[in-house]
Structure 1
Amino acid sequence: MMIRSILLLFLLWVSGITNAQTTKADSLIRISKTIGQDSNYVSVLNQIAEELSDKDADQSLDFAIKAQLQAIKIKDVPGLGKALNNIGWAYYRKGDYSKGFDYALRALRINDSLQLLSQLAISYRNVGAIYNSQAKYRESMDYFHKEMSIHAKLNNLLGVGRSLNNIAFSAHRGKFKDSAIIFGHTALEHNSKLGDQYLIAFSLRTLGDVYFEEGSIDRSIDYFLASLTAARAAKSNFIIETSLYRLGKAYQQKKQWKESINYLQEAVAVSKILGAKSEQATIQKLLAFSYAQIGDYKKAYESQAIHVALNDTLFEERSRARFAQMQVAFETEKKQAEINLLKKEDEAQKEKIKDQRLYTFLLLVVVALVMALWLVSWRRNQFKQLANKQLRLQKAALEQASFQKDKIFSILSHDLRMPISSLSGVLQLVDKQSLSEEAFTKIKHALGKQITSLNTTLDNLLLWSRNQMEGVTDVQASECSLYEIVENNCHLLTSAANQKKILIHNDVSITAKAYADVHHVDIILRNLLLNALKFTEEGGIITVQYREDEHMAILDIIDNGIGMTKEQIGKLFKVNTHFTTTGTKNEKGAGLGLLLCKEFVEANHGTVSVKSEPGNGSQFSVTLPKSKYV
């Protein structure tokens, strides 16, 4: 009774909060129409999306997508990270967990690379929420704990309150009752001190779920009513809707059908505003049951019909992804039917051929005699032609060896000598103690870049030299994750990219696979990314994208750098015409990276191509088999 009295007092206190003021979202929308389309505009769009996130998922998604497009247009990377967080959360609210998870991971990578802790915490929250929806409750709780630790570090008490709510909710869903009660009451106490009605409503609803689950129906109703009142004060349609249909379920347990119907009818209206079809279907099923219990079978039938229709719609939406596979299967069966028809026609032709076999046999005898005469003549010239061919091959091999020797000596005399000479000169100055600490600091960075370039040059030189002598041997092809290889190289090159303020964006699907040598693919991607970094101006963007056809996986490495002419493109990947130029920051190289890429791609039964225009960047496309090459 004491708990019920406390909750009733809480209801009276919350109900006194005024809602007459214009909503924050409306104010922000008016502001967005009066400012220029710069980073401030992106920030306002993101704020609108956040404000609407728990009130109208469709509107929130629209504003978040606008923020994303504008952020990309003006290269506002922090704004892009926030927009991706908002898009992921909107898709989660709409029940599209696949898209929600994809956007959450993209946001997580950007916010982690920029160390934007507040947005990184939101990324953790989004991933945790989607894990929770997929019944992976331990993983969900782990991400919510990561979120809470960041909020605590930033002294963000509202963020801590939200994290406590999420941990309690996941613990309840995962049947960790004790944890759910402890974190639920901790969240309620923390959020009550803050006075945030949305967070209070969430805490109360979770505790109501826990007590409903254990059979304490009256106690759960008290918490659901308190949650509903706080949610109305916060204008959170999501909590309002979920509290309403929980009250409807609770009153069904008490067999108070009219009260159940009242709450469920209001829940239907709110779920329509949210566009939450899955919740609508659940609520209509509950309504049908309550109507049937009071004998109103007409309304029971109507609610059941709506429930079935919504389920059918949801089924259709979930089946769209399967439709393409079914269509492919249909085309395959159609082709097989055509093959069977051709086989029947072929059998009919065989009957005709039997009558012609005798003539064919005689013709073969004549041909054999002619071939015998030709063979005698051919063998007379065979040795002469073979000797000429061997001489041509030896000449080509000598010319190739001479070119390789000249190439290696050119690298040793120029690309390797300069950084070694620079290092030697600095060591002499240090030995003579004629180099001040200030001067040494100024040249240390340049020396570091030269030594890094030297290391890359030596690696490529050794690989290229071995390939020229032995060919690309020992190809260990297997199914490999293109996403992981791209992600590893993005992390590996983060320091180099940061020096030029270049964003490397991994747009490759997590499920993307190819059948190739993992080591070779790693070398190919690293050299193409290094090449893109070399010729991309400061503040540019490099994107790695994935596409596929029936048999091949395709990686596109796209940059917005200085580009190339058609003449330059024609000289790429050819030993005798290959060239090297300095990068946008005077980076040097031996010109072997792209040659290695071509050799390793072809060794794995793939192709490499390039599209580019001066001033419009470049796109290198690598095609590899999706399955074992036959």
Structure 2
Amino acid sequence: MKKYVALWVGCILSATILLRAQNSKIDSLREVIKSKTIQDTSAIDALNDLGNELLLKSHWEAMDSYQNAYQKSIQINDTVRIVNSLIGLCDVYSMNGEYKKSLEFIAEALNYAFNNYDLLATCHSRLAIEYYNLGKNEESVKHDRLSLEYNLLINDSNKIAYDLHNIGTYFLGGEYNDSAIYYYNYSNSYINNSNDELIAYNNSRIGFAHNYAEKYDSALQYHLLAIERFAQDSMLYEMALEETYLAKLFFEQEKYKYALKHVNEAKNLSVALNNHLLIKTCHHLYFDIYNNLNEYKKALDHALLKQAYSDSIDEKNQLNTIETLKTQQSYNEQKRRLETAKANNSELAYKQRKLLIFSVIIIVLLVICIVILIENRIKQRKNKELVSQLNKVNDYQKKLLSIIGHDLRDSVGNLKNFTELMHFNLLENKSINTMVENFVPMVNSTYDLLNNLLFWSKNNNKQFAPQYETLSNLSLIKDATGHLNHLAQAKQVTIENNIQPASFEGDRNMLLTILRNLLSNAIKFSYPNSIILIGSKPVDNMILISVCDKGVGMRKSQIESILNADINEHSEGTKGEFGSGLGLSLCLSFIKKLNGKITIDSSPGKGSSFHLHIPQKKNQRTQTEALSTPASCWFRTRLDK
């Protein structure tokens, strides 16, 4: 007990400093509100905070602050701040005992709190207090439970704890006193911070519950715990109330010495707070104690002091009531003006909506017109592109048919003449051997032409897609050269390999067709007794296959024509071999389907190098940065020898 006495004395000595700090805070808030640079929301918060600070000092000033905050909140349509301002006005009327009027403000706040669980919980909690003040306990606990439901939805443990505390108060002192203790302890279980002041309020109420059950020792301990917690934050008003509770507790046990001790402490705190209502309560306790001690003179002195403070409170209440009525009248006038302004704004808003709708219709019509024009232009552009493509296809097919007709006519015509001469035995053996030797390259060219035509027809079918499998560059090149070795030998051309073995994914038939065409062209345009080199190696996630010859070579315009997939008139090889130009066009189409690319390095009289760049993985693209210039023949020194 000595520890608590020392603590109370320290709190009393610091009361003046605390009150000065509160006055300083009020002055600071007023400066913020006067500031012209402050934003509207900050000014509203400052007005609400000022109302909270003035609530216990000057009701009418607090009301003025809350009303200003409410009007500013309405202007910017800030729901949260509107509700806070209305709750502040409710507090003012509640402290004046006008509970029905305070209910009107909470009812208005509920309309703004729609669909906001946090605000709804706050409003229902405040309704519970007002109904409790009106003596409607059933209605009070109903709203406490509604507040609890909303706080459970948003999982706000602190507010849940307060709701449970309020529900416990509903059961306090009656036949369900044990239920009150249960709810207070349940409230403590939701408090995360052991220093939360709600623990002190719960302890205080548990002390009351034990007092009602005449468990005075337990009640004393809980009240002392509450005072200890209130003292930590210098909550002088709560400390003063607890001291009066302890004084009444000892008075009921007829322990007047302890009762006087606690009422003295309560009075000192009440004087420091300048709270006449608490001082009046203390003098009432003095009167009861001294009256029971038969010290009637002291009892009379305190009875007179009690009456003096009652008169002071009544006078103060009258002044507050007058000021409150003035403020209320001002508020009603401002509200009327605000409603008039709202009506004018509604009419103006209606006209603006009509203008907006008309503007939107005009804009929509303009957009529709623009969209139609754009779609027409897109269709026209697509039609032009289609016509261009059709013309290109027609030219392509005409050129193709012309080449096919020319090559096949010559080849088949010569074969027809040769077979007729053979049939009528008009040729000698020497002449037959010479003609057969000359017909071999012509027949091979005709075979290649027909083979390419077969693949070309498949290639122009949309269903013709690569059939991927894992391939070996070594095996692929070996198969391609195997088909054409007889042509190379007939022309005395040597095919040599320089291959770094590697595997990749691709379509075997397509790649064989490409390689056969490139090798066939290399043989056709190579001089007798020359070398063709085929090289392959992995480069940057690609497979590079190069076919290099030391033949007639090509001009730059010929290279560009090949890479543009143009079909040219046939050109003859170094020994008069025919060529349609269809093979290289087919090669470019196939390599494109495989996501690869062909580059060419050639010049007249120096030979040609065709480079295939094939991705190692399916759906992988070639690295265009590496293909900005044609690849050189990386084994050229061997070819030059």
Whichever of the two has the greater Rg, that structure is 2
TM-score > 0.5 by shorter chain: no
TM-score of the two chains, using structure 1 as the length reference: 0.44
TM-score of the two chains, using structure 2 as the length reference: 0.44
